[in-house]
Amino acid sequence: MNVKDAAEYLGLSPHTLYVWRHRRQGPPSFRMGPRGRVIYCVESVDAWVHEQEQADSRTATVLSP
């Protein structure tokens, strides 16, 4: 997926993904092709979302008091 597609998939703005990429946060991405377009793999984005869900104490029962 390109940045626009990934942002739509996650319900975010493309700008947010660009900022996260610059800060080395957010889902994994890479540059591809001669123009260096930023690409996100659906599987990597889904895995990152799952990691975020597990790290959130409200959804991870092992972290709940």
Which pLDDT tens digit goes with each residue over 4-57? 999 999 999 999 999 999 999 999 999 999 999 999 999 999 999 999 988 886
**Phi and psi (nearest 5°) for 39?**
-125, 145
Residue 29 has which token pair? 């991405």
Nearest to 9 by CA among 35, 33, 27, 23: 27
pTM of the model: 0.81
**How confident is the model at residue 54, as a pLDDT?**
85
